[in-house]
Amino acid sequence: MSQIPTAEDLMALPPSFLAQDTSRVLFNVTTAFAVITTLVYVLFLTSRTFCAEHNSLEIWIIPVFSYAFCVGLWALGFSLVALGGAGRHAAYWFLTDPKVITTYLKMQTAAEFVYVASCLCPKLSILALYLRIFTDRKVRIGTWIAIGVAIAHAIANIIASFTICQPFEYKWNKTIHGHCANVIASYRYVSLPHILTDIAIFVLPLSSLYRLQISKRRRFGIFLTFVIGSLGIITAIIRFIMFFTLDLESDPTWYAPALFSYTIIEPWLRTTVNSYHSNNIDNTDQSTRIDIPLRNLKGSNTTSISTPKPISRRNDDDDRSHLILLEHSVDVEVSHGYFRRKV
C-alpha cells in the first residue's frame, strides 16, 4: 500500500463502490486449475510408471517439487479469498476490518517465494531433458547457461523479496518504523529475465531439430511439442504487463483476483506442459535418426553420416542414450575416394 486513506476519504466513497466483490474469479480459477493439474500429474506419474521403458532421476524429483509448489499457490489462492480480502476494495477493509489488509500483505509476500520456486522447477526439468537428449555442443552450452541464469534469477528474486523493505516486517506492517524501495518496480524488472529464459528454452533446440533426418511430419510434431512446452511465455508476458497497467499499490486487494489468477495459471502451464513435453520427447527416442557431423581432415569440405538409432534395451550405463545422443567420437580422413576410420 502506498498510503493509508483518511477516514474522510473512506466515508466519501459510494456504497456501490464498497460493495463490489470479484473474489469468485480467483476462487474459480484456483479450483479449476487445482483439479486439472492434479489429474494431469496423476496421469503423468501413471504413464511414466507403467509405459516408460526408462525413467531418469529428474523425472521423479523435479515434477514432485513442481506439483508441491503449485499446491502452495492454490492454498494461497483459497486463503486470499477466505482470509486475505481478495476481490474487495482495500477501502472496504479499512472501514470494516483493517487487519485483513495486513493478512493480505503477508500472503502476498509468501506468494512471491512460492511463485519463484513453482516456475523454476519446470524450467530445470525441461533444461535437464535437453542435456539428456542433445549432444550438439552449442545447444548444451546454451542449456547450461540457461540453467545458470534461471537459478541466479530465482536467487535474486528471493533476495529482493527479503531486502526490498527494511525491516522485513514493514512489508505488511506499516505501523512500525521502516521503509521500502519501489516494490512495483522490482516486480516489473525481475520479470524480464524470467521471460528471456522462457524464450531461450524455446529457441535452444530448434537448430538440432532442423537437422534431424526425419520426415517433415515427424519434425513438425516434435517442433509442436516444444511450442506447447513454451506456452508459459504468454502468461509471463501478460503478468508482466499487469505490473504496468494495474494500480496495485493503491488498491491491492481489488486487483488481486486478476493478478493472482495469472500467478496460478503460469506455473500450471509450466508443470502441465512439462509433463506433456517429457512424455512426447521420450516417445520419439527409438525411431529418431542421428546426424553426426564429421569434419574433413583434408581439404575444406565438411561431410556427414546419418545412421538409424538401434532399438535395444538399455542397461544402467545407457541412461543418456536418447533421441540424438551418440557420444562415441569418430574421426574420418577423406582421401582419394575412400574412408580410413580411426575410432
Whether 254 and 88 have beta carbons less than 8 Å apart is answered as yes
Q: How far apart are CA 102 and CA 84, in angstroms?
A: 8
Whether 42 and 278 have beta carbons less than 8 Å apart is answered as no
Question: pTM of the entire structure?
Answer: 0.74
Cell 517429457 belongs to: 278
Whether 74 and 41 have beta carbons less than 8 Å apart is answered as no
pLDDT of residue 321: 37
Cα–Cα–Cα angle for 190, 254, 66, rounded to 5 degrees: 45
Q: Which CATH architecture has domain 7-283?
A: Up-down Bundle (1.20)
Residue 99 C-alpha cell reads as 487487519
Residue 169 C-alpha cell reads as 516486517
The residues spanned by each domain of the chain are: 7-283, 289-342
From residue 272, how far is each of 37, 44, 73 by CA, in Å?
7, 9, 15
Number of CB atoms found within 10 A of residue 185's CB: 11
pLDDT tens, position by position, for the chain (343 residues)? 556 666 677 777 888 888 999 999 999 999 999 999 899 888 888 887 887 676 666 677 888 888 899 999 999 999 999 999 999 999 999 989 999 999 999 999 999 999 999 989 888 888 888 888 888 889 999 999 999 999 999 999 999 999 999 999 999 998 899 999 998 888 888 888 888 888 888 888 888 877 777 777 777 777 776 776 667 788 889 889 999 988 888 899 999 999 999 999 887 776 665 555 555 555 544 444 334 444 444 444 444 444 444 434 444 444 433 344 444 444 444 444 444 444 4
Q: Is 293 helix (H, G, I), strand (E, B) or coil?
A: strand
Residue 90 C-alpha cell reads as 482495500
Whether 157 and 190 have beta carbons less than 8 Å apart is answered as yes
